[in-house]
Amino acid sequence: MKKIAVFASGSGSNFQVIAENFSVEFVFSDHRDAYVLERAEKLGVLSYAFELKEFDDKASYEEAIIDLLDLHQIDLVCLAGYMKIVGPKLLSAYEGRMINIHPAYLPEFPGAHGILDAWEAGVPESGVTIHWVDSGVDTGQIIKQVRVPRLPDDTIESFENRIHQAEYAVYPQVIKEILHD
């Protein structure tokens, strides 16, 4: 059976959906105080957390992550709100085995604020993209996308909520497809 690790920086709602649908070997957070770590504990999922500032450089930080991935023999890394750019060391070790979910319909609105950027641009729809991780920011080969309309009575909160609901539906589907290839 293929082993999954999930990387998250914040609340971990996508991690929770993944962990409720699949056996997750561990969750990693780049913030020691991230809520995702509490979610992991409640779900009985092993967790690790350390921060870039604890290392001499990004290469050393990523080497520690690779050591964890290799120790657990991870087949697929699922980024789920992991807000660090994957550097060359980690990418070279896990390229082709690392996917990301992005809360916009790429290539529209890449980067850290996809939902807010789409909202402020006044677009009639945005969406969700799952893609392979490459050396760019949200530029990897697209695996699956879904559109999410902006409704006339939407607030930023209702729009964001519908995008998150789309994420929770589509991410497990994609993971299942990848694991069964």
- What's the whole-model pTM score? 0.96
Q: pLDDT 10s per residue in the chain (181 long)?
A: 899 999 999 999 999 999 999 999 999 999 999 999 999 999 999 999 999 999 999 999 999 999 999 999 999 999 999 999 999 999 999 999 999 999 999 999 999 999 999 999 999 999 999 999 999 999 999 999 999 999 999 999 999 999 999 999 999 999 999 998 7
Domain around 139: 102-167
* CATH number, position 78: 3.40.50.170
One domain for residues 76 and 107 = no
Contact 83, 11 (CB under 8 A): no
Whether 58 has a binding-site annotation, put simply, is yes
One domain for residues 73 and 139 = no
Last residue of a domain, one of 45, 64, 94: 94
* Total tally of structural domains belonging to the chain: 2
Half-sphere exposure of 64 (CA within 13 A, CB side): 16
Instruction: For residue 110, tell me if it sits in a domain.
Output: yes
Whether 9 has a binding-site annotation, put simply, is no
Whether 85 has a binding-site annotation, put simply, is yes
Last residue of a domain, one of 68, 94, 120: 94
Q: Which residues are catalytic?
A: 102
